[in-house]
Amino acid sequence: QFVAPEENGGKSAVFLRGTHRKEFPSEIRGIPVNRVVKRIFFYHGMCYNTENGKVLTYRLNFADGQVREIPVYAGSEIADWKIVPGAKTFNEPLRAIAGKAYPPMAKEQWGEGAGGFLFVWENDVRRKGVTNQDVDQLGLAELRSIDIVSAGRATPIVFAITVEE
């Protein structure tokens, strides 16, 4: 479910702290999921990337106490959300797919347009426990919540997170 901007003070994306935007929060904690998921789809972008490296971490908190951290790097899982002036397409990262580019609302506001990138994570976190058989009968662990933590360099932007059960 997308957050409708008109129902949320004009806001529909999460911006996190970076070198050039220190007024944003450095992390968002406890986004509820409470489901067993096969895959998670992260639709995100970044701005003000002054140095390559880690942009953010998605921390997955499982019901049985397990934690999995998914590091997101510039040029690999995420890229700049703006199409630079004179270019026709995004600089697409290695492990994510560029979404639709939206034209700027005002001349030169966003270069040639703005949008995000779809990064997919496949769940391999098994439920804790013991079975009396050689076959794993426990299945995947239940994902309780997601935290989003900025690395403090570029400004991460998260537009949507959805799951496949």
Q: What integer is the mean pLDDT of 39-67?
A: 95
Report the CATH number at residue 98: 2.60.120
Q: How many domains does the chain have?
A: 1
- Is residue 86 in some structural domain? yes
The answer for 14, left when phi > 0, alpha when psi is -120 to 50, beta otherwise, is beta
**How many angstroms separate the Cα of 77 from the Cα of each of 22, 88, 109, 135, 141?**
23, 20, 25, 34, 24
- Residue 85, pLDDT > 90, answer no
Residue 54 binned pLDDT confidence (cut-offs 50, 70, 90)? very high
The string of pLDDT tens digits covering residues 133-154 is: 655 556 899 999 999 999 999 9
Give the Cα separation of 125 and 12 in Å (integer): 30
- What pLDDT, on the 0 to 100 scale, is given for residue 160? 93
Straight-line distance from the first to the last Cα atom of the chain, in angstroms, rounded to the nearest whole number? 15
| Domain with 55 in it | 5-126+136-164
- Is residue 131 in some structural domain? no
pTM score, whole prediction = 0.88
- The pair of three-digit structure tokens given for residue 114, joined into one six-digit string: 């703005």
Give the Cα separation of 98 and 92 in Å (integer): 6
